[in-house]
């Protein structure tokens, strides 16, 4: 039985028709976030790169752009970590194993992993930015020898809001230095307190040999970029992932535009030096 019925008119198919995936596993990560393991009925949907996203939807509720958080080379399932903020994401949170979700994608640009080979990489994640960052980290750690020093700086508002903390030791074991910081510590927190920029000075940077990847809430970028400039990391060597409102995911509806650029097509991954032509970006 075909669950997605397309029409072909004049040799064209609708780019708006979603395809079904089955929820294999749901894990409650924090109060607001859940990790979903999804098996798409069409395996070609698994050909994604770190940084890309799916338009994930449910009939009656709509679609939302969700970054992929699983690593590469998955043959059956991919993972999405979803925060419940609106109609679609709240509806997704009510789903359980065996339920359908509806997918279009993967869309967007991915991080140029090959450009990072043999270099040191500093991953700077703020809040929910760690979700797409995880996909990149997993991709890089899969081939650890191909890269230089790897450092993750991850800042969350509070310890309860920290994501994937049970995976940090595993990442450390694979050769990723994990530096954590919290805005509002609880009594148990013994680590760094402050925003991610407080940890950037602690990272040893080899000039010309370091790539930085920055993903976080809109307000974070300006400050992080100034800190990176202080560390003499060139804008050509900095990659960011930018979010915008997305509705169609195929570069038509116009909502995701940063100046003249459709983020769903030419982003969400951008090289910082390219953003000088996009003043609305940061």
- Residue 27 sits in the site that holds other proteins (CB under 8 A): no
Task: Supply the minimum distance, in Å, between the C-beta of residue 156 and other proteins.
Answer: 15
- Residue 226 sits in the site that holds other proteins (CB under 8 A): no
Query: Residue 134 in 3-state DSSP?
Result: helix
CA–CA separation, 148 and 141 (whole Å): 11
CA–CA separation, 165 and 178 (whole Å): 10
**Dihedral, CA atoms, 77, 80, 110, 149, nearest 10 degrees?**
-100
Q: Which stretch binds other proteins (CB under 8 A): 86-94, 118-126, 172-180, 204-212?
A: 86-94
- Chain center to CA of 166: 18
Nearer to other proteins, 152 or 246 (CB): 246
User: How many residues would you count in the chain?
Assistant: 282
User: Are 278 and 259 contacting, i.e. CB atoms less than 8 angstroms apart?
Assistant: yes
Per-residue contact string for residues 147-186; x = within reach of other proteins by CB under 8 A = ----------------------------------------
What is the total count of residues that contact other proteins (CB under 8 A)? Answer: 51
CA angle 81, 31, 222 (to 5 degrees): 65
Task: Supply the minimum distance, in Å, between the C-beta of residue 172 and other proteins.
Answer: 30
Q: Which of 15, 43, 146, 191 binds other proteins (CB under 8 A)?
A: 15
Q: Which stretch binds other proteins (CB under 8 A): 83-91, 152-160, 172-180, 187-195?
A: 83-91
Per-residue contact string for residues 100-139; x = within reach of other proteins by CB under 8 A = x-x-------------------------------------
Q: Which of 24, 30, 32, 62 binds other proteins (CB under 8 A)?
A: 62
215 closest CA partner among 149, 101, 137: 137
Which DSSP category does 50 fall into?
T
Residue 166, phi then psi, degrees to nearest 5 = -70, -10
Q: Which stretch binds other proteins (CB under 8 A): 9-17, 30-38, 114-122, 135-143?
A: 9-17
User: What kind and span of H or E run contains 18?
Assistant: none
229 closest CA partner among 196, 263, 200: 200
User: What kind and span of H or E run contains 170?
Assistant: helix 168-173
CA–CA separation, 178 and 149 (whole Å): 12
- Residue 247 sits in the site that holds other proteins (CB under 8 A): yes
Q: Which of 42, 158, 259, 273 binds other proteins (CB under 8 A)?
A: 259
- Residue 265 sits in the site that holds other proteins (CB under 8 A): yes
Q: Which of 231, 257, 271, 274 binds other proteins (CB under 8 A)?
A: 257
Task: Give the number of other CB atoms < 10 A from CB of residue 47.
Answer: 11
Task: Supply the minimum distance, in Å, between the C-beta of residue 164 and other proteins.
Answer: 20
Rule CB under 8 A: which residues touch other proteins?
Answer: 3-10, 12-18, 20, 59-64, 85-87, 89-91, 94, 100, 102, 217-218, 243-245, 247-248, 250-255, 257-260, 265, 279-280
């Amino acid at each position: 039985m075909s669950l997605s019925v397309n029409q072909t008119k004049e040799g064209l198919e609708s780019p708006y028709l979603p395809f079904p995936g089955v929820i294999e596993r749901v894990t409650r990560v924090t109060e607001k976030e859940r990790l979903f393991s999804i098996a798409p009925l069409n395996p070609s949907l698994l050909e994604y790169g770190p940084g890309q996203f799916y338009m994930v939807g449910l009939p009656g509720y709509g679609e939302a752009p969700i970054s992929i958080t699983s690593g590469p080379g998955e043959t059956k399932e991919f993972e999405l970590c979803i925060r419940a903020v609106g109609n679609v994401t709240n509806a997704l949170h009510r789903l359980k194993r065996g339920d359908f979700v509806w997918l279009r994608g993967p869309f967007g640009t991915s991080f140029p992993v090959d450009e990072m080979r043999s270099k040191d990489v500093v991953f700077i994640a703020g809040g929910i930015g760690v979700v797409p960052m995880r996909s990149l980290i997993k991709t890089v750690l899969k081939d650890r020898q191909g890269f230089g020093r790897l450092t993750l700086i991850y800042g969350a508002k509070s310890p309860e809001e920290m994501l994937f903390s049970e995976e940090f030791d595993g990442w450390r074991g694979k050769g990723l230095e994990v530096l954590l910081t919290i805005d509002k510590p609880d009594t148990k927190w013994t680590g760094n307190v402050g925003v991610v920029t407080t940890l950037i000075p602690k990272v040893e940077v080899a000039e010309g040999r370091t790539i930085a990847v920055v993903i976080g809430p809109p307000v974070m970028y300006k400050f992080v970029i100034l800190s990176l400039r202080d560390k003499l990391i060139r804008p050509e060597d900095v990659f960011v992932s930018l979010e915008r409102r997305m509705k169609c995911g195929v570069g038509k509806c116009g909502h995701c535009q940063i100046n003249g650029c459709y983020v769903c097509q030419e982003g969400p991954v951008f090289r910082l030096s390219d953003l000088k032509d996009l003043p609305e970006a940061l």
